[in-house]
Structure 1
Amino acid sequence: MKRTVIALGRFEEAGKKVAGFLGAEFSPYSKEAFREAFSHSTHIVAVMSTGIVTRSIAPLLRSKWSDPAVVVVDPGLSFAIPLAGGHHGANDLAWELSGLGITPVITTATERAGKSSVEIIARDHGSRVLNQESSVNVNTAILDGDVPFYCISGPAMILAGRETAILVKDGEYSVGVGCRRGAGKEAVESALRKALSLASIPAGEVSVFATTVKKSHEQGILGAVRALGGTLIFLDDDVLARYPPESPSRAGAVGLAGVAEPSALAASRRKELVMKKTVFGGVTVAIAR
């Protein structure tokens, strides 16, 4: 976790006070200050007007799941306003600043209603939201009433609709797997173990195994993941289509551009392949983080 405090020159004293309190790096404001902070920081506190910060970070914003949390603090150190990433660290940072006598101004709907968002629930359970696109619908449902929470002990297989958030225990890697029709459990398990060994990744560091929903009947995949003590999810075509494979694939037989690489990427956090699709007989495996 890397924190940066940015302040206009005339507010440098206030900025350094905040930086000292947070144990953060201090950076004087410049045209490139926010761009540089976005490249290496997880949390940013800006001691200046909301307007300056809004204009500065607008071109840099990509996704609330990967962007730094941004909090604006007025020069008088009276108020802390989470501007971006409220559910991804900004609200918590604003509350932390209350230790300096700064009043947090929280505007996220779930918090204003005295409820926890799905992102916060995931964090509190040491997990992450796998299907990030579900968060809007789930948080809306939380506002409207109680949303059931199911805890499933693994080994397990989950097939859920788009409006159901899937929370998986934190692990660095996701493994995408495909296979020829009727591939046996031993063949799939052997392929998965070989892939993890080649990548020097312990099975315990895998958060989830993933494949296309069209493979939900493949007993070989189901049995192999169960033998590894993992969690297996099935992904819809439209989800996989967002991640074109880097390697050639025969997945056209099931109407897809690929299975192993798109599945690994779709289920991953950073969307980075650490092992491209590798073929083990009739089984394909890819690993992402």
Structure 2
Amino acid sequence: MSVVSPRVALIAITKHGVSQMVALAAKMVSSDIEELTVVTSRKFASEVESVDCNKIIYQGAMRAQMASLMESFDQLLFFVSLGAVVRLAAPHLKSKDEDPGIVVVDDAGKFVIPVLSGHVGGANEYAEKIASILQATAVVTTASDVGKTIPVDILGRELGWKIEAPKINITRVSADVVNEEPIAFVQEAGSRDWWRRDSALPANIHLFDSFEDVDLTQIKSLLWVTNQDIPAAVWDQLDERLVVYRPPRRLMLGVGCDRNTPLETVETALSNALKQINASHDQVDGMATIDKKSDEVALLQLADSHGWRCTYFSAEQLSEVEVPNPSDVVMKYMGTPAVAEAAAILAAETTMDDLLIEKYKYRGKDGKNATISVVEIKEQG
């Protein structure tokens, strides 16, 4: 998963604040990890000339700049008093899903305080990062961060997980988590590397590999990482105490086709196959086939057009893979009882249990055949 560097604005309106801002900006620029802008009034324009980053020099009141700043940046870091920042930002607040993170540094540079959008906007994490640079203290007040527990509203965000739950569920489950109520954490999909804190997982969080393993009478709320469809009856049963996370699916394709099959036929076969499992092309990690097809034009074009790596296996390698649909005909012509199924399984380093589509066959208008198999790549660890 690619990580986009946040758009960061450092803002100061006093001589001492500008001095602190310039010192911090120099350290941040040297790390080369930010899309950084310094913001100050025309009065202090000469003070920021030495900083090698974007600059906004305004004339008039800071108040007039706030709407634009809140629309244009992901993180606003103020060297301004906390009360003043609250008054400046208040008229422009929308929601925690839209507002930027706002952080304040005190005049002595000893404390870094996330003021707004601590979780969803990332201000808590950013405050800790800035505090580390300044050798200051981050004053974080969000309960799940202070208590070193699960942040329900942003869990797995860096892994590409999408949260699925009404807002009332997120609110109530978050309260149960921070109040140390018994929580079931069911993980049936996605990376296991979701706990990023240095401390141990809190004792009230109980881990399960399957929903069926959970005794619902023994828990208050449930966090469920899955790609399954959740029945309405389960949502009703848990009564606003369920939050679901959808990790991105990672798929491997096994592909076979007749000699000189047109690209259109292979593309149609693939689109039809993916549609059967409600998957998209951007979830595909790569494709695989038999080495005898390493010069098959349509397969080369398919891999190239989507930016996929194509892995080739010998008939001997493929014939050793257990598959659900071995074919005597394929064995006769290719030297292995399966191509698409076996290639997908081998490339994904898994077994036929992870086949989402065993063998989808499609015949094009010209009579040429293409076969698609799809395997879900399981996370390691």
TM-score (norm 2): 0.44
Alignment partners' CA distance in 2, 1:202 and 1:93? 34
Matched residue, 2:162: 128
Alignment partners' CA distance in 2, 1:132 and 1:43? 27
Aligned amino acid, residue 241 of structure 2: E
Contact 2:114/2:123 (<8 A) preserved:
yes
Alignment partners' CA distance in 1, 2:91 and 2:248? 30
Alignment partners' CA distance in 2, 1:150 and 1:33? 46
After superposition, residues 263-278 of structure 1 pair within 5 angstroms as: none
Alignment partners' CA distance in 1, 2:14 and 2:166? 39
Higher RCO (C-alpha under 8 Å, 6+ residues apart): 1
Single out whichever of 100-109 and 158-167 deviates more from structure 2: 158-167
Matched residue, 2:114: 82
Alignment partners' CA distance in 2, 1:65 and 1:164? 20
Contact 2:10/2:39 (<8 A) preserved:
yes
After superposition, residues 146-161 of structure 1 pair within 5 angstroms as: 146-153=182-189, 156-159=228-231, 160=235, 161=239
Contact 1:49/1:72 (<8 A) preserved:
yes
Corresponding residue SS for 1:6 = strand
Contact 2:76/2:103 (<8 A) preserved:
yes
Contact 2:248/2:283 (<8 A) preserved:
no
TM-score (norm 1): 0.56
Alignment partners' CA distance in 2, 1:97 and 1:117? 21
Matched residue, 1:26: 38
With over 3 angstroms needed to count, the CA separation of the structure-2 counterparts of 1:49 and 1:131, relative to structure 1, is same
Q: CA deviation at 1:104?
A: 0.5
Alignment partners' CA distance in 2, 1:132 and 1:72? 31
Matched residue, 2:283: 204
Could you report, residue by residue, the CA deviation over 1:219-268 in whole angstroms, capped at 9, with x for unpaired residues?
A: xxxxxxx979xxxxxxxxxxxxxxxxxxxxxxxxxxxxxxxxxxxxxxxx
1:56 equivalent in alignment to 2:88 = yes
1:16 equivalent in alignment to 2:22 = yes
Matched residue, 1:174: none
Single out whichever of 39-48 and 16-25 deviates more from structure 2: 16-25
Matched residue, 2:8: 3
Q: 1:46 aligns with which of 59, 74, 78?
A: 78
Alignment partners' CA distance in 1, 2:87 and 2:40? 17
Contact 1:4/1:19 (<8 A) preserved:
no
Corresponding residue SS for 1:107 = coil
Matched residue, 1:101: 135
Q: CA deviation at 1:62?
A: 1.2
Q: CA deviation at 1:167?
A: 1.5
Aligned amino acid, residue 9 of structure 1: T
Contact 1:119/1:128 (<8 A) preserved:
no
Q: CA deviation at 1:85?
A: 1.1
With over 3 angstroms needed to count, the CA separation of the structure-2 counterparts of 1:17 and 1:168, relative to structure 1, is farther
With over 3 angstroms needed to count, the CA separation of the structure-2 counterparts of 1:106 and 1:156, relative to structure 1, is same
Corresponding residue SS for 1:66 = coil
Q: CA deviation at 1:109?
A: 1.4
Q: CA deviation at 1:116?
A: 2.7
Alignment partners' CA distance in 2, 1:71 and 1:109? 17
Alignment partners' CA distance in 2, 1:203 and 1:96? 32
Aligned amino acid, residue 77 of structure 1: G
Contact 2:78/2:103 (<8 A) preserved:
yes
With over 3 angstroms needed to count, the CA separation of the structure-2 counterparts of 1:83 and 1:132, relative to structure 1, is farther
Could you report, residue by residue, the CA deviation over 1:167-193 in whole angstroms, capped at 9, with x for unpaired residues?
A: 12269xxxxxxxxxxxxxxxxx96x95
Alignment partners' CA distance in 2, 1:36 and 1:95? 26
Q: CA deviation at 1:14?
A: 1.1
Could you report, residue by residue, the CA deviation over 1:39-60 in whole angstroms, capped at 9, with x for unpaired residues?
A: 1211111110011110111121
With over 3 angstroms needed to count, the CA separation of the structure-2 counterparts of 1:203 and 1:124, relative to structure 1, is closer
Contact 1:3/1:42 (<8 A) preserved:
yes
Q: CA deviation at 1:203?
A: 5.4
Could you report, residue by residue, the CA deviation over 1:61-119 in whole angstroms, capped at 9, with x for unpaired residues?
A: 11112211111111221111110111131111111112211210011112222323113
Q: Tell me the number of residue pairs that the alignment of Structure 1 and Structure 2 aligns.
A: 188
Alignment partners' CA distance in 2, 1:104 and 1:26? 21
Structure 2 gaps of 5+ residues are 1-5, 29-33, 42-61, 190-225, 250-270, 285-354, 358-381
Q: 2:98 aligns with which of 33, 41, 66?
A: 66
Identity of aligned residues (%): 22
Alignment partners' CA distance in 2, 1:115 and 1:138? 12
Alignment partners' CA distance in 1, 2:37 and 2:10? 6
Matched residue, 2:364: none
Contact 1:6/1:33 (<8 A) preserved:
no
Matched residue, 2:306: none
1:118 equivalent in alignment to 2:196 = no
Q: CA deviation at 1:149?
A: 1.3
After superposition, residues 224-235 of structure 1 pair within 5 angstroms as: none
With over 3 angstroms needed to count, the CA separation of the structure-2 counterparts of 1:109 and 1:155, relative to structure 1, is closer
Alignment partners' CA distance in 2, 1:15 and 1:59? 25
With over 3 angstroms needed to count, the CA separation of the structure-2 counterparts of 1:131 and 1:21, relative to structure 1, is farther
